A and B are shown apart, each in its own frame.
Chain A
């Protein structure tokens, strides 16, 4: 929260922060207030809303979101402060004096009811045909205040056209309550700046640059705005109908891959507390729905590590040994399509720093429609591949024209966690009650390294586990207890780690044709960094541009979404730092229990390198199928 407030100000409003004192026990550090006649001592600078919540006093809110700076625009959270002529927005009122607050006076209740009435009067939408039905803050408020008719009339015609130009995000502004959470998300949290309030008065609405369709502006498809929208005004582009049709078509072989983060979060859609993984249950449910095969994206995450890790070593070899100035380091990860598009727009001069390795989703699509089709003797044109992802940008990614290396569209549909939960419900399945089952062969269960891809720092940790072992010949466990590379974990926006390579082993067979020995790495200090959320990515990129310490890095993991994939734009709503931390906990807990936790030890990976990509990682064939290229999009739109 504080981190965010110090960040770039949103265009429309500069967030004002009153710093909370480091020592509330010092004089002036705290203040005694009264809420509803009860005396309370709080640190100076606490907002009225925070003070109330800490004391279990419920205040309704709409524009407030724990991830975002204060807006104070919906006015639902108003309370009475003695001595003040007007009601005060509790979310925006930092307490610095011994005030007396009343949270439920007649005036306050009436004002809140009026505000809900007003919002509803302009709200064009029907709950039963809305994806936020039963998970909508406006709907809940209407219920909380017992709205049983429209006091101030009700709009009967839509005012806006639905914008479904984007592969990822659909905007239905008739359901917008102008809370500006999306604006603050896009400008302030993500620092992309696609959305802003346009026009004044009764014409005010949220729009894009010159009202262009979302597909034509610099939207990176992260979907973070969807996750923070209180209503159904923003949603992901939903492919459920097409997928059901494929499932129901007997000529189609429908294969689904599931990413690590959806498993750690999908339980939330079924009423479970955040932090309960349902991997085995989900496998069973997917088969019952009618998917012909259920695969683990972690398998291609392992493959990504092999490809991306080899690519990194090749870049370093070129730079350190060959002294080749054209070797481009640091290498950037490329598995987050939100991040990739961000870079293509804002730092397009750095596209060559991106690893050419495709994301696990796209690798899997390509492998299914080639290797798997071959092994199972199925015509790839009859295969439909679906990817369950925590991410809305994955929908865009699978539609990139580059992603057809199998000769077909490698991944047919990107499905979000939310949409999958919906399909499961439609199939009459209560997920938490499903028996557990494993993933299908020939890819089976993957390593834990792939699983932790779901959390920020996970790709880096997975890569380091493999790179350390391949280079030194020693077990990671000899350096990091239980192979948990803790310095790289956590939620700090940007993290930086140095790993001196003091000893080297012999080059494994699979890489011998690239490197005669590892001696050139001896004495090198490996510098790596992790950034999550594009606002943090921006910090690192600006530092690189300025020639700062991150420009000296060898490898940097970037994730488009705050928290990494577990905080992706396709994950269950709501989201908050606390929820994301619980999802991460679930992922790390599940991972710690897996028998195999390093990508290069995954027997299915070894198998594919022996039987299909038999020239090894970064070979000609793997380049054809598993690597890609990027587009210099630039910041300016036509």
Chain B
């Protein structure tokens, strides 16, 4: 699919910004003033989990250690997400300035960008950009004359596994190990990269921060809803005329979004990528927000002609392949769910077995070791619940009176 270059307009991220602006302001502030500003802004992580960013930074800042790290999670592996790529290729100043501000706030000397393997072509321009920053003393020693504030950024190319976007698997991968999620607690804010306190932040989260520092928490909170402040980049794909990356305030409804991208005859919208939920038409008045239809930004649109069973099969195949394979519920659970979908496809399923699989999905959500396994049944459960007739009676499957 070709992403049309749209005019980048939006209230927050795409608002005006000049390289270094946020850094200059931040360096004039005390660390706890920055933390307070972030707390006041109610900024939550844009990578999917929605953890309050100020809390993450505060915990990392409070962790006592000789070394700390700030990591930019640019693994962007969620199917249907491409907003981080836009930021990295068109707005690197926002991302890197956010990292410098983070380094200053939490006391890190090194920032690492974990760049998705497929974005290798971005590595060179980003390295060049970092060199320019070094020339301008936005990186390096005593940054902008701030005595004792040394900070630099490295780029690490990932090796192409979806699970490596999960922050602890990402850290394992950075350390040269198999990309597998760690046990938590302890959390990365205490025991992260090389066992040192580490803050892992999404590209977009970091890109938002310079704006907040520069323009204030109140300005930021003016956009969005009470619980979901600010705006969000949405990667919109599927059956619509204007796919692409859009900055929209939190609280936008699904209907509004569909209008914007000129999507017609829509049956379902998958919000949050493969690991998200599938919403039917009856729920299109729901709001995109942490408290309602939450998402890391991926929106996939399906029109009336789409077959929900093949949609689901695609998602399940993805998880069967991408599970890191270490924990039982996810490794075998996803295989079972996929087998179930294949039964439906052939029309040889029974209602009671599919219900048993739904039950299994519920266990996977709570018993899997990391977010991948915990969210992998979301599509299965929501498509089953929201498109029950289509799915269960698929291929005449229910017609034989099987149960």
Q: A residues engaging B (CB < 8 A)?
A: 11-14, 16, 18, 70-76, 78, 85-87, 89, 92-94, 96, 107, 110-111, 114-115, 118-119, 121-122, 151-153, 177-178, 180, 196-197, 199-204
Instruction: Say yes or no: A12 contacts B180, CB within 8 Å.
Output: yes
CB distance from A196 to the nearest CB of B (A): 8
Instruction: Say yes or no: A178 contacts B177, CB within 8 Å.
Output: no
Instruction: Say yes or no: B365 contacts A202, CB within 8 Å.
Output: no
- Residues of A near B368 (CB, < 8 A) are 75, 86
Q: B residues engaging A (CB < 8 A)?
A: 161, 163, 172, 175, 177-178, 180, 182-183, 185-186, 191, 195, 319-329, 331-336, 339, 356, 359-360, 362-363, 365-369, 374
Most A Cβ at <10 Å: residue of B178, B320, B328, B366: B328
CB distance from B160 to the nearest CB of A (A): 11
Instruction: Say yes or no: B180 contacts A13, CB within 8 Å.
Output: yes
The verdict on A12 contacting B191 (CB below 8 Å), with A121-B332, A202-B334 known, is no
The verdict on A197 contacting B178 (CB below 8 Å), with A152-B360, A202-B335 known, is yes
Instruction: Say yes or no: B366 contacts A87, CB within 8 Å.
Output: yes
Apart from the given pairs A14-B195, A73-B369, A92-B183, 20 other A-B contacts in the complex at a CB distance below 8 Å: A14-B175, A70-B183, A72-B183, A78-B367, A86-B368, A86-B374, A111-B366, A115-B363, A118-B360, A121-B332, A122-B332, A177-B328, A178-B325, A197-B180, A197-B325, A201-B321, A201-B323, A202-B334, A203-B325, A204-B331
Most A Cβ at <10 Å: residue of B177, B183, B323: B183
Instruction: Say yes or no: B356 contacts A13, CB within 8 Å.
Output: no
CB distance from A279 to the nearest CB of B (A): 43
Instruction: Say yes or no: B324 contacts A200, CB within 8 Å.
Output: yes
Contact of A202 among B178, B325, B328, B363 (CB under 8 A): B325
- Residues of B near A73 (CB, < 8 A) are 326-328, 369
- Residues of B near A119 (CB, < 8 A) are 328, 332
- Residues of B near A153 (CB, < 8 A) are 336, 339
Complex: A14 Cα to B178 Cα, angstroms:
11
- Residues of B near A13 (CB, < 8 A) are 172, 177-178, 180, 182
Instruction: Say yes or no: A202 contacts B323, CB within 8 Å.
Output: yes
CB distance from B344 to the nearest CB of A (A): 15
- Closest Cβ neighbor of B171 among chain A residues: A14
Most B Cβ at <10 Å: residue of A74, A115, A177, A197: A115
The verdict on A118 contacting B332 (CB below 8 Å), with A89-B183, A151-B356 known, is yes
- Residues of B near A11 (CB, < 8 A) are 177-178
- Residues of A near B328 (CB, < 8 A) are 73-76, 115, 118-119, 177-178
Contact of B329 among A92, A114, A197 (CB under 8 A): A114
Instruction: Say yes or no: A12 contacts B374, CB within 8 Å.
Output: no
CB distance from B188 to the nearest CB of A (A): 11
The verdict on A118 contacting B327 (CB below 8 Å), with A75-B367, A197-B178 known, is no
Contact of B363 among A114, A122, A199 (CB under 8 A): A114
Instruction: Say yes or no: A14 contacts B339, CB within 8 Å.
Output: no
Complex: A199 Cα to B178 Cα, angstroms:
10
- Residues of A near B177 (CB, < 8 A) are 11-14
- Closest Cβ neighbor of B317 among chain A residues: A201
- Closest Cβ neighbor of B364 among chain A residues: A114
Instruction: Say yes or no: B185 contacts A200, CB within 8 Å.
Output: no
Complex: A119 Cα to B163 Cα, angstroms:
22
- Closest Cβ neighbor of B323 among chain A residues: A201
Instruction: Say yes or no: B329 contacts A75, CB within 8 Å.
Output: yes
Contact of B182 among A14, A118, A121, A152 (CB under 8 A): A14
Instruction: Say yes or no: A96 contacts B185, CB within 8 Å.
Output: yes
- Residues of B near A115 (CB, < 8 A) are 328-329, 363, 367
CB distance from B106 to the nearest CB of A (A): 20
- Residues of A near B325 (CB, < 8 A) are 178, 197, 199-204
Ranked 10 nearest A-B pairs via Cβ = A204-B325, A92-B183, A118-B332, A72-B183, A111-B367, A114-B363, A201-B323, A111-B363, A12-B178, A73-B326
Instruction: Say yes or no: B183 contacts A118, CB within 8 Å.
Output: no
Instruction: Say yes or no: B366 contacts A178, CB within 8 Å.
Output: no
Instruction: Say yes or no: A200 contacts B329, CB within 8 Å.
Output: no
- Residues of A near B367 (CB, < 8 A) are 75, 78, 86-87, 111, 114-115
Complex: A118 Cα to B337 Cα, angstroms:
11
Instruction: Say yes or no: B191 contacts A197, CB within 8 Å.
Output: no
Complex: A396 Cα to B328 Cα, angstroms:
35
Instruction: Say yes or no: B191 contacts A16, CB within 8 Å.
Output: yes
Complex: A119 Cα to B326 Cα, angstroms:
13
- Closest Cβ neighbor of A151 among chain B residues: B356
- Residues of A near B365 (CB, < 8 A) are 86
The verdict on A121 contacting B336 (CB below 8 Å), with A70-B183, A72-B183, A86-B365 known, is yes
- Closest Cβ neighbor of A199 among chain B residues: B325
- Residues of B near A196 (CB, < 8 A) are 178
Complex: A395 Cα to B333 Cα, angstroms:
40
CB distance from B14 to the nearest CB of A (A): 33
- Residues of B near A78 (CB, < 8 A) are 366-367
- Residues of A near B369 (CB, < 8 A) are 72-73, 75, 89
- Residues of B near A93 (CB, < 8 A) are 183, 185
Q: List 19 A-B contacts (CB under 8 A).
A: A13-B172, A13-B178, A72-B183, A75-B369, A78-B367, A89-B369, A93-B183, A94-B186, A111-B367, A114-B359, A152-B336, A200-B322, A200-B323, A201-B320, A202-B325, A202-B334, A204-B324, A204-B326, A204-B331
- Residues of A near B319 (CB, < 8 A) are 201
Most B Cβ at <10 Å: residue of A72, A74, A152, A180: A152
Complex: A393 Cα to B391 Cα, angstroms:
56
- Closest Cβ neighbor of A94 among chain B residues: B185
Instruction: Say yes or no: B183 contacts A200, CB within 8 Å.
Output: no
- Closest Cβ neighbor of B191 among chain A residues: A16
CB distance from A186 to the nearest CB of B (A): 15
CB distance from B319 to the nearest CB of A (A): 8
Instruction: Say yes or no: B182 contacts A16, CB within 8 Å.
Output: yes
- Residues of A near B374 (CB, < 8 A) are 86
Instruction: Say yes or no: B326 contacts A118, CB within 8 Å.
Output: no
The verdict on A201 contacting B331 (CB below 8 Å), with A14-B175, A96-B185, A152-B336 known, is yes
Contact of B186 among A16, A199, A201 (CB under 8 A): A16
- Residues of B near A114 (CB, < 8 A) are 329, 333, 359-360, 363, 367
Instruction: Say yes or no: B191 contacts A178, CB within 8 Å.
Output: no
CB distance from B370 to the nearest CB of A (A): 10
- Closest Cβ neighbor of A118 among chain B residues: B332
Complex: A151 Cα to B359 Cα, angstroms:
12
- Residues of A near B322 (CB, < 8 A) are 200-201
Contact of B320 among A12, A76, A96, A202 (CB under 8 A): A202
- Residues of A near B332 (CB, < 8 A) are 118-119, 121-122, 202
- Closest Cβ neighbor of A107 among chain B residues: B366
Most A Cβ at <10 Å: residue of B163, B324, B327: B327
Complex: A490 Cα to B118 Cα, angstroms:
55
- Residues of A near B359 (CB, < 8 A) are 110, 114
Instruction: Say yes or no: A86 contacts B336, CB within 8 Å.
Output: no
Complex: A70 Cα to B374 Cα, angstroms:
21
CB distance from B274 to the nearest CB of A (A): 14
CB distance from B194 to the nearest CB of A (A): 9
Complex: A232 Cα to B391 Cα, angstroms:
40
- Closest Cβ neighbor of A96 among chain B residues: B185
CB distance from B171 to the nearest CB of A (A): 9
